[in-house]
Amino acid sequence: MGRTPTVEDVAALAGVSRQTVSNVLNTPDIVRPATRERVLHAIDELGYRRHAAARRLRLRRSSAIGIRLDPYVGGISGVILDRFVHAITERASERGMRMLVYAARTPEDEVVRLGELWEASEIDAAIITGTVRDDSRVGMLDRRGLPFVSFGRPWGADDIADPTHLWVDVDGAAGTAAATRHALGFGSRIAFLGWPEGSGTGDDRERGWSRTMQQAGIAGERLVAEEGVLAARAVVESALAAGFDADALVCVSDSLAVGALLALNAAGRRIAVIGFDNTPTAEALGFSSVEQRPEDVATGVLQLLMGATGDVVVPRRAEAGSAHVLVQPELRVR
């Protein structure tokens, strides 16, 4: 073959999908015996595992990507990151990479831990999540020279046009724009329940609502609550007591949507409420919500990290147009 065999080579020789090869390598019991034998034969014929191990030794690479395990905080919307970590682990395995999970309490602790893993050659690159405006981790990782991709924009000067940093994000504005267009089917009075200003993600989602309302030539009321069911319920209860009235309410998260629904139901009011995240709670309660598609985010992260070569190749200056992946969300109507 003249090059190191890949998962794709094994899949092609065995006549199966990449996922089936991954299943044979990681969860063989779920694969039919005949298919499993065919894949194992292709692996042996190509020397897939043998070549992969030799290549790691030759290049002194760990074939591992570091990602922080966020502290458990409960709540409704926390499942999105869980889905992402599960998806990135699955897809990294398909490409011959492992995920190394670590814990850190603060951004500074996270950079120190990543630096230790990097200097000990335990990871080839990192993924950072939960980005905020002018994220301090970005500069610290730059100074260490550690390759990384962020799930979420750095929300700074290099946000969109400058390809210095590689990131994958969900187009929140597109998601709330779709939610607002759907809400306009219930009437013209479409309100928005968002987070306080200053959150890059929250401001982006609000932008989709406000622009869509402006395009429709309609002014909408904006309510603000901290993330959390109880906080949202209190804000909506206060607004209702002050005469709040709307045909639909677009929310920045499913947590805020649940709080709004509790307040509206207690007041005997029935208006359409649309969330963001499409958590199991949204499905269980039957309200529409914007699906972030974290599985597509995982695919985008690995595309930026590994490109077509199968190696971790994170350039410090990527070409404009190839440094970012903006995943298009999808409105799930219920």
What pLDDT is recorded for position 59? Answer: 46
Under the phi-then-psi rule, with left for phi > 0, alpha for psi from -120 to 50, and beta for the rest, what region is 32? beta
Assess whether pLDDT exceeds 60 at residue 73: no
Cα-trace Rg, the chain = 23
The pLDDT tens digits of the residues spanning 240-298 come to: 999 999 999 999 999 999 999 999 999 999 999 999 999 999 999 999 999 999 899 99
Assess whether pLDDT exceeds 80 at residue 50: no
The SS3 of residue 65 is: strand
Assess whether pLDDT exceeds 50 at residue 74: yes
| pTM across the whole model | 0.75
Q: Choose the most confident range, by mean pLDDT, from 69-83, 136-150, 187-201.
A: 187-201
Nearest to 103 by CA among 86, 116, 84, 88: 116
Tokens standing for residue 93: 């395995």
CA distance 119 to 125: 11
C-alpha distances in Å from residue 71, one per residue of 64, 283, 285: 21, 25, 27
How far is C-alpha 330 from the chain's CA centre? 13
For domain 172-291, is the CATH number 3.40.50.2300?
Answer: yes
Domain extent listing, the chain: 7-171+294-332, 172-291
Q: Please count the other Cβ atoms lying within 10 Å of the Cβ belonging to residue 316.
A: 11
State percent of the chain over pLDDT 70.
84
Mean pLDDT of the chain: 85
The pLDDT tens digits of the residues spanning 122-167 come to: 888 899 988 887 788 888 888 888 889 989 887 665 566 666 788 8
Domain 7-171+294-332, what fold? Rossmann fold (3.40.50)
**How are beta strands 222-224 and 272-276 bridged, if at all?**
unpaired
What pLDDT is recorded for position 67? Answer: 93
- At 108, the amino acid letter reads E
CA distance 17 to 38: 12
Per-residue confidence band for 58, with pLDDT thresholds at 50, 70 and 90: very low
